Structure 1
Amino acid sequence: MTQIIVLPHLELCPDGAVIEAEAGKSICDNLLANEIELDHACEMSCACTTCHVIVREGFASLEEASEIEEDLLDKAWGLEPNSRLGCQAIVSDTPLVVEIPKYSINMAKEGHRK
């Protein structure tokens, strides 16, 4: 198992979390399995940006993003150089520190969160 530290997010994970993640599964799958409800409007098919995360530590351990993922990330709210789509970033055996942005495009358009 690999450790993922999730930085505090006001609504999804107010106190932050430390989870034991399964290598070979996506960041999104691992967060959902640990009751951190990361948005994933396209059901993890790499068709939206609602599962956008910022990998603060361990970014280099992830496989390179595909061209499709890179194109989608250009539309993500709060894009940073170490941004990834949680559904596409596959966890390895390297610990990660992940930040969930305050908003996603889905949240802003549908007014889910303030």
Structure 2
Amino acid sequence: MPQIIFLPHAEHCPEGAVVEAVAGETVLDAALRHGIDIEHACEKSCACTTCHIVVREGFASLEPSDELEDDMLDKAWGLEPQSRLSCQAQVADKDLVVEIPKYTINQVSEGH
């Protein structure tokens, strides 16, 4: 079973976390299942950038992003070459090291 290693984030996982993931599930779903409340304002429909992550290791194991995700990522705060939307990035068979950016462009939190 692949693992996702979340780097420390002051709000979402101050100590960092290592979670088990199921191949085919999204990084966001794996995080939520393990109590890491990554913000996601569009109900996982690839319509915002609040679930933006940076994949520090294992990026090549992910399926490439599609045009819609790329368009949304262009609006993300702190965009990097290894940026993905966690609601779209599906875990494959490799471990991932993920960083949750410090900021999002979301002005209203839905309280997820």
Question: What TM bracket, shorter-length normalisation?
Answer: over 0.9
What pairs up with 1:23-62 in 2 under 5 angstroms?
23-62=23-62
> TM (normalized to structure 2)?
0.95
The offset of 1:22, in angstroms, is 1.1
The offset of 1:110, in angstroms, is 3.9
Aligned partners of 2:67 and 2:19: how far apart in 1? 29
Equivalent pairs counted in the alignment come to 110
Task: Structure 1: give runs of 5+ residues left out of the alignment.
Answer: none
Percentage of identical aligned residues: 65
Q: Does 1:105 align with 2:105?
A: yes
The offset of 1:49, in angstroms, is 0.3
- Give 1:35's aligned amino acid: G
- Give 1:80's aligned amino acid: E
Per-residue CA distance 1:16-72 (angstroms, 9 max, x = gap) = 001111111000000000000001100000000000000000000000000000000
Aligned partners of 2:34 and 2:23: how far apart in 1? 14
Aligned partners of 2:25 and 2:82: how far apart in 1? 19
Aligned partners of 1:52 and 1:75: how far apart in 2? 10
What pairs up with 1:3-82 in 2 under 5 angstroms?
3-82=3-82
Q: Which residue of 2 aligns with 1:91?
A: 91
Aligned partners of 1:77 and 1:101: how far apart in 2? 8
Aligned partners of 1:13 and 1:55: how far apart in 2? 16
Per-residue CA distance 1:57-102 (angstroms, 9 max, x = gap) = 0000000000000000000011000000000000011000000000
| Structure with greater helix percent | 1
> TM (normalized to structure 1)?
0.93
Aligned partners of 2:5 and 2:89: how far apart in 1? 15
